[in-house]
Chains A and B, each alone.
Chain A
Amino acid sequence: MRELLEISPGAQRSLFRRYHIGGCASCGFRPEETLAQVCARNENLQVAEVIDYLLTAQEEDRQIQISPAELAEALRDGAARIVDVRTREEFEAARIEGSILLTQDVMNEVLAQWDRSGLIVFADHKGARSMDAAAFFAGHGFAGARALRGGIDAWSQEVDSSIPRYDLE
């Protein structure tokens, strides 16, 4: 699995979206396991079928992203909610207006009360972790879960330059 994730970093997201594998420690896998072993202890999934599906992982990753311009348009229409998955320090230093910081309480509220067909955009610094967050919620049935391509850094450059760019130390 380690080698698989090196070749295809998006494979873990795809495994969870389709098969509910790798989302949390209970359904996780060890790096030294083979894909066949993981398939065997998950209801004997057909390895060839899983590989065929994983080959589409890159395309699935593209589909789960939303560009800053697309998000700006959705916000103008009141059709999107933004969940920020960065640290509190980053959130307080620079954030998109109307976004909320993901906490355990927010997560419980999202799972319990938010519309699963609505557009929910996960945002991070540069668009990496938000992909995993969007995949996690997509795997829980949130059809409109998306990740902000390029993160708040791209938002600052492409939509709203008043949002400061930053580095982490």
Chain B
Amino acid sequence: MSDSLQQRIQEAIANPKNVGELTGADAVGTVGSPDCGDMLRMWIKFKDQDGRRVIDRATFQTFGCETAIAVASVATELISGKTAEEALNLSGADLSAPLGALPPMKIHCAQLVEGALRSALAPEQAIPSPAPATAGAPTLFDQLGLGVEKHVKVVLHTKPS
């Protein structure tokens, strides 16, 4: 990844915009599953402006990958003021454009954001989630144990007297 792209991603996640649930949202879209630790959810609220119904505000919540956080942050700002149709015309590359071109291995992060947007605005056009890893091949993120609260019983060893 180029240093300048890494720097823009760093700037975006250091101060991410529009994070958290949006009360009174008109539309909600989700891709992935919080159970498997890889999820992005987007809330969208509309307003009437000059006779058009445009996006007033969009917010998001996600677990995991920093690139997905950075893309969601810039994308929620990008779609503000657009109609649903205009927002739906944006590709993953359009939504991540403020960060610069993503390397091929990171493009799925932008597709995750595009998927959440489509899930919210046009569920029938939603992009199928990428092939998920299964229990037979857990991801590295799964091993971090985030998103799933696990409870265990700890039995301390007794020290010899």
- A167 B152 Cβ-Cβ under 8 A: no
Q: In whole angstroms, what is the CA distance A169 to B2 when docked?
A: 46
Q: In whole angstroms, what is the CA distance A166 to B153 when docked?
A: 10
Across the interface, A25 reaches (CB within 8 A) one of B10, B13, B139, B150, namely: B139
- A168 B139 Cβ-Cβ under 8 A: no
Q: Which residue of A lies closest to B19 (CB)?
A: A108
Q: In B26-53, which residues have CB < 8 Å from any A CB?
A: 32-33, 36-38
Q: Which residue of A lies closest to B40 (CB)?
A: A26
- B151 A89 Cβ-Cβ under 8 A: yes
How distant is B74 from chain A, measured CB to nearest CB, in Å?
15
Q: Which residue of B lies closest to A102 (CB)?
A: B144
How distant is B64 from chain A, measured CB to nearest CB, in Å?
5
| B106 contacts chain A at the CB level, 8 A cutoff | yes
> Given contacts A20-B106, A129-B143, are A166 and B152 in contact (CB under 8 A)?
no
Q: In whole angstroms, what is the CA distance A96 to B10 when docked?
A: 29
Q: Which residues of A contact B131 (CB under 8 A)?
A: 28-30, 33
Q: Which residues of A contact B133 (CB under 8 A)?
A: 22, 25, 28-30
Q: Which residue of A lies closest to B145 (CB)?
A: A85
Q: Which residues of A contact B146 (CB under 8 A)?
A: 102-104, 107
Q: In whole angstroms, what is the CA distance A112 to B65 when docked?
A: 11
How distant is B123 from chain A, measured CB to nearest CB, in Å?
20
- B155 A31 Cβ-Cβ under 8 A: no
Most buried by B among A24, A107, A140: A24
What band does the interface of chain A fall in when counting residues whose beta carbon is under 8 Å from B? 35 or more
- B132 A27 Cβ-Cβ under 8 A: no
Q: In B100-117, which residues have CB < 8 Å from any A CB?
A: 104-106, 108-109, 111-112
Please report the total number of B residues contacting A with Cβ < 8 Å. Answer: 47
> Given contacts A20-B105, A27-B105, A136-B140, are A112 and B152 in contact (CB under 8 A)?
no
- B156 A93 Cβ-Cβ under 8 A: yes
Across the interface, A24 reaches (CB within 8 A) one of B139, B151, B154, namely: B139
> Given contacts A85-B144, A107-B144, are A166 and B132 in contact (CB under 8 A)?
no
Contact with A along B56-72 (1 / 0, CB 8 A): 00000001111011000
27 inter-chain pairs at a CB distance below 8 angstroms, sorted by A residue, are: A12-B137, A16-B140, A21-B105, A23-B139, A24-B37, A24-B140, A25-B33, A26-B65, A26-B109, A26-B130, A28-B137, A89-B151, A90-B154, A93-B156, A102-B146, A104-B146, A104-B147, A129-B145, A135-B140, A136-B140, A136-B141, A164-B156, A165-B156, A166-B157, A167-B154, A168-B155, A169-B155
Residues of B within 8 A of A (CB): 1, 6, 10, 13-14, 32-33, 36-38, 63-66, 68-69, 104-106, 108-109, 111-112, 129-134, 136-137, 139-141, 143-147, 150-157
Kindly list 12 other residue pairs between chains A and B, CB separation below 8 angstroms, not including A24-B140, A29-B131, A140-B66.
A13-B140, A21-B105, A24-B139, A25-B36, A26-B68, A30-B136, A30-B137, A103-B146, A141-B1, A166-B154, A167-B155, A168-B154
